[in-house]
């Protein structure tokens, strides 16, 4: 088994992206977090919100790259597009040492990682051989987002992850609890969970009387299995979860080999 490769954060070039769009408050938070780690921070983010676009790539139309400010760009595409354009165009001469995606406006826990554009951007970075971390700020109810929680704790989490190192085709998913910065219980390294309830479908009628169906949000983050990202965040911990891009189911692989032998 390969050993993780530590990342030197003494003078890193950091690429920042997200799925909530170039004007999202979480992106501004992440730019400040990255600024705590480096003076060489670049932002390449979607022009518009791209939540739940997963690991999608735009291939049937050209993309527009807009230069907004010093080291700051917008792409009229998906988070995956942004990472590709950043690595192969904007920063081609000097690729980033670290890719940070987020801070997402809402958690990315359990099954969310298969839908999330935030996690997908980190996935694309990992595919390109770049160390990557996805960051999300949990939120529920009608109170304000605790952006200060991610802003206060993220830099130290990133440092610890970098010191531990990254494996090929891997990324790290970080979720901050829906608590004030001073009320965080700590950091818990845990596996990806699975919610007890699936996403629901809401039925209704539009103003013209035409029926529609709307895929709704999950009813909650309840998880019967303990020590997962879902339970950690619910209990007020920062959840740190390593993810791998190889989706091969090894046990079934062996059984299928036997079946087709």
Binding residues, as ranges, are 19-20, 51, 104
Contact 44, 82 (CB under 8 A): yes
Q: Summarize the annotated binding site for a divalent metal cation as residue ranges.
A: 19-20, 51, 104
HSE-CB at 153 with a 13 A cutoff on CA atoms is 27
Residue 223 phi, psi dihedral angles, 5° rounding: -145, 120
Contact 175, 139 (CB under 8 A): no
Peptide bond before 67: cis, by omega within 30 degrees of 0? no
| CA dist., res. 252 & res. 73, Å (int) | 44
Look at residues 36, 44, 18 and name the one whose alpha carbon lies nearest to residue 154. 36
Contact 16, 104 (CB under 8 A): no
Tokens of 90: 């904007």
Helix 147-164, helix 25-37: angle, nearest 10: 40
Tokens of 169: 């085709």
């Amino acid at each position: 088994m390969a050993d993780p490769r530590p990342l030197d954060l003494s003078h890193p070039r950091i690429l920042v992206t997200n799925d909530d769009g170039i004007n999202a408050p979480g992106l501004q938070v992440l730019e400040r977090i990255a600024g705590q780690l480096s003076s060489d921070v670049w932002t390449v983010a979607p022009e518009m919100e791209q939540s739940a676009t997963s690991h999608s790539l735009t291939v049937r139309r050209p993309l527009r790259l807009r230069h907004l400010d010093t080291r700051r760009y917008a792409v009229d595409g998906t988070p995956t597009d942004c990472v590709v354009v950043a690595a192969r165009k904007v920063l081609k001469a000097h690729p980033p040492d670290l890719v940070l995606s987020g801070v997402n406006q809402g958690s990315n826990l359990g099954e969310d990682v298969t839908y999330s554009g935030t996690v997908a951007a980190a996935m694309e970075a990992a595919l390109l051989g770049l160390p990557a971390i996805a960051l999300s700020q949990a939120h529920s109810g009608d109170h304000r987002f605790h952006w200060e929680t991610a802003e206060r704790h993220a830099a130290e989490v990133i440092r610890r992850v970098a010191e531990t190192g990254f494996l090929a085709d891997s990324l790290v998913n970080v979720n901050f609890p829906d608590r004030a910065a001073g009320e965080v219980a700590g950091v818990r390294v845990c596996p990806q969970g699975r919610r007890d309830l699936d996403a629901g479908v809401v039925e209704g009628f539009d103003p013209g009387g035409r029926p529609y169906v709307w895929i709704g949000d999950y009813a909650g983050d309840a998880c019967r299995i303990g020590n997962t990202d879902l339970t950690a965040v619910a209990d007020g911990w920062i959840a740190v979860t390593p993810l791998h891009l190889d989706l091969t189911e090894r046990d079934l692989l062996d059984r299928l080999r036997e079946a087709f032998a």
